[in-house]
């Protein structure tokens, strides 16, 4: 008789990787969305907030490129310029995007409620804190200082510009693991508020937790959410949960403050030899 033997990790979690806008700061993920709208407006091709949010989580140049492929946007572009948008247009808009984003980042740098307490609890469990982002290094320089001023300082931060490609490819997650000196990948949990966040973690072989309420999937500030009728909020949350679960998230909760019990569940699954 022939047998195949497999090695499985059954130890504890070692790290969590957190997204930035919509996950730990900038409730509703507004900073990039409003700038994408302004960039296209300057090209006389106005886009909607929904269109601006569509590719959220990707490298910002990739984000712009993806918006130009939307049928409505490309048709409007053709009406204005008698041609479809090209890579030169994408690069020009990205160059417009950079200073506009740098100028407004500090306005959207408040931490999402529960971030400090949850990160403290993560550290109390012996976990390292990494982070990934679609922002450039220059942009993150501002946000890292703003976060530090507010009491939040991850052990590792990797930008899309630091690796060969951003989300949904896994390289930012893997670079974080290298920076933190942590393996195997199943000992790490990726937490984020966008669908590319989920895909990034899955592609890296990590557990993934989606955040439905505070980020891009609903796209409203805390105050805006408070003004919603309960049934309207419930519908939006159900839709966001469904989209994230359909993308492959292992778990979906509303905010970062809701993630701690899930880590215990994941560790119980690891102890049984389960993998993401």
Q: Calculate the CA 108 to chain-centre distance.
A: 15
* Long-range contacts of the stretch 36-43 (C-beta < 8 A, 24+): 36/63, 36/64, 36/67, 36/97, 38/100, 39/64, 39/93, 39/96, 39/97, 39/100, 40/67, 40/73, 40/93, 42/96, 43/77, 43/80, 43/89, 43/93
77 contacts 85 by C-beta, under 8 angstroms = yes
Decide if 254 is catalytic. Answer: no
Decide if 264 is catalytic. Answer: no
Q: Which of 14, 43, 60, 61 is catalytic?
A: 60
The residues carrying an active-site annotation are 19, 60
């Amino acid at each position: 008789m022939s047998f195949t033997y497999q090695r499985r990790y059954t130890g504890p979690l070692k790290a969590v990787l957190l997204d930035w806008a919509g996950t730990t700061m900038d409730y509703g993920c507004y900073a990039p969305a409003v700038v994408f709208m302004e960039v296209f407006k300057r090209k006389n091709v106005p886009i909607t907030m929904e269109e601006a949010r569509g590719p959220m989580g990707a490298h910002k140049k990739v984000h712009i490129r993806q918006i130009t492929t939307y049928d409505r946007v490309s048709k409007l572009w053709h009406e204005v310029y008698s041609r479809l948008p090209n890579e030169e247009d994408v690069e020009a808009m990205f160059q417009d995007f950079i200073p506009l984003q740098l100028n407004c980042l500090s306005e959207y740098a408040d931490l999402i409620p529960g971030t400090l307490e949850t990160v403290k609890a993560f550290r109390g469990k012996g976990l390292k804190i990494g982070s990934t982002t679609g922002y450039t290094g220059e942009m993150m320089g501002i946000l890292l200082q703003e976060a530090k001023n507010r009491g939040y300082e991850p052990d590792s931060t990797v930008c899309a510009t630091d690796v060969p490609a951003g989300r949904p490819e896994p390289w930012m997650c893997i670079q974080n693991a290298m920076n933190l000196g942590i393996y195997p990948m199943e000992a790490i949990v990726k937490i984020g508020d966008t669908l590319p966040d989920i895909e990034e973690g899955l592609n890296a072989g990590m557990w993934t937790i989606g955040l439905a309420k505070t980020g891009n999937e609903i796209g409203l500030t805390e105050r805006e959410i408070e003004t919603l009728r309960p049934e309207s909020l419930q519908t939006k949350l159900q839709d966001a949960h469904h989209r994230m679960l359909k993308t492959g998230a292992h778990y979906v909760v509303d905010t970062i403050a809701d993630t701690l019990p899930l880590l215990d569940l994941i560790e119980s699954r690891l102890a049984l030899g389960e993998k993401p």
